[in-house]
Amino acid sequence: MAQPEEMLIPKLEEFLFLADSILLMIEKIALLGFIISRFPLQIILLAFIYVSVEITQRLFPPGESTLEHYGMFLWGRIPTFVVVLYSFGSSKNWGLLFSFLFVTRMVIYIIDYIEGGIIYEHFSSSSPNPTDLNEGQKLEKGKTEMKKEAKLIESEVDHEMENPFQSSNSIEESTMEEKVRDTMEEKDEEKDSINELTSNCGVYIAELYSQLYDDLQMEKRQLEMDLHKAIDEHKKACYSKKRVKKLARKSIEYCEKQLLKWDEEKEKLIAELKLATSENSVKNNQNDSEKQSEKQGKESDDDQTMELYKELEAVNKTLEYERSLWDEERDELSAKLSETSSNYQQICCSWSDAYNKLAEDRNNLVAKLFAVTSSAEYYKACWHDSEENWRKLREENTELSAKLFSATVQAEHFHNLVQEFEEKHQRLEGEKTDILANLSAAKATVEMYRSYMHNYPEI
């Protein structure tokens, strides 16, 4: 009867897991159809339901106990039951579908909980494939081998029960007890070492990842601060450079306006001088033509010409004075212009050097940022590798725990057999002592009768 039950367990596991997966897919499709065919109020309700379930699973993840896992499952199914009740009032078909899904999944999980958490073991493993039965076949082979060994031991024990007074029986029982104890101690040590290794590995990986993440975040923040600082300095430099250009342009425009103004005044003075000289020449010609005819007005004409010459000399003096002032101002402005242009060139050179330096610093920072991101990707890949190793160790731990469980069951069975054999041995020893006592008493009575017959032969 033991073999058919053991053959039915993996089939029951496969059936429950496949049924739960299919029903979960149908439930998701039905919920999607329910969302599409209803109003935004139901969409908000279902979104709140799923968000609450996800938050609850993050805050209270399911542990090793199946009771905690099924408590989480019931919390996730209660909102679905609320949707079922709401669907009865609006659409009968939707209500029947949700009721069927809810009841069937609850029945499957109740059967699973009674059987000992079959689906939860599938979900907790790293590769929940019901068709992948290599590990199950290995366990079944190990179980069959252990059963064969147990049958051989039982046959040997039954054979030895026929000769209970042999001295080899106690020696074999003691050796068997020692072997069982050694195997139990080895399994306990292996389990403790595996648990310690997995816990240390998980803690080390978490600490390493958190430390690397913090270092990368610090370097990233520092690089961003340096980059923003360099950009601000570059903006300030460009602003000051534009300001100097603007001031130089304004000074040049002012100088050009002054030059144009002075050119206009110069042309005006030259035109007045030409007009005065032309009038003087006209008057001289008139005086020459009328010199002979107008002798009386000679003195008056000479006075007028003298006054005109005086005015001309005064105009020439003022023109020379204005020209000298204009030359001095022009020299000063040209000197200022050359000085400002040289200063502007120096400022431009300094700002170009600063810009080149900032560009070089920016390139260096970009290179460092690229190196940091590449190192982050490298550490992320290392973390994924360590996570894969951790998963493999976890699978090995589960396999070893299963083997340990089967070994403990066999060890308990053998221990019970040993206790039974010890009890039988003690009982037989007691019977042996009783028989020996009776035998010694019988021998004593026989000797007594023999001596009596020897002493009284006549009788």
Residue 267: predicted pLDDT: 76
Residue 321: predicted pLDDT: 82
Residue 56: predicted pLDDT: 58
Residue 333: predicted pLDDT: 78
Residue 372: predicted pLDDT: 76
CA distance 98 to 34: 10
CA distance 201 to 318: 102
Decide: pTM greater than 0.75: no
The answer to whether 172 and 160 have CB atoms below 8 angstroms apart is yes
End-to-end CA distance of the chain: 70
- Residues 377-394 pLDDT 10s: 888 888 888 888 899 998
Residue 131: predicted pLDDT: 39
Listed in order, strand segments (DSSP E) in 159-317 are none
Residue 128: predicted pLDDT: 40
Q: Which of 141, 153, 116, 135 is nearest to 411 (CA)?
A: 153
Provide the residue type at 228 as one letter: H
- CB count within 10 Å of CB 420 equals 11
Q: Which of 41, 24, 26 is nearest to 108 (CA)?
A: 24
CA distance 56 to 73: 11
CA distance 38 to 393: 48
Backbone angles phi, psi at 352, to 5 degrees: -65, -40
- CB count within 10 Å of CB 284 equals 13
In the chain, which residues have pLDDT < 50? 1-6, 62-66, 117-136, 138-139, 157, 160-173
For tokens 């144009």, name the residue.
260
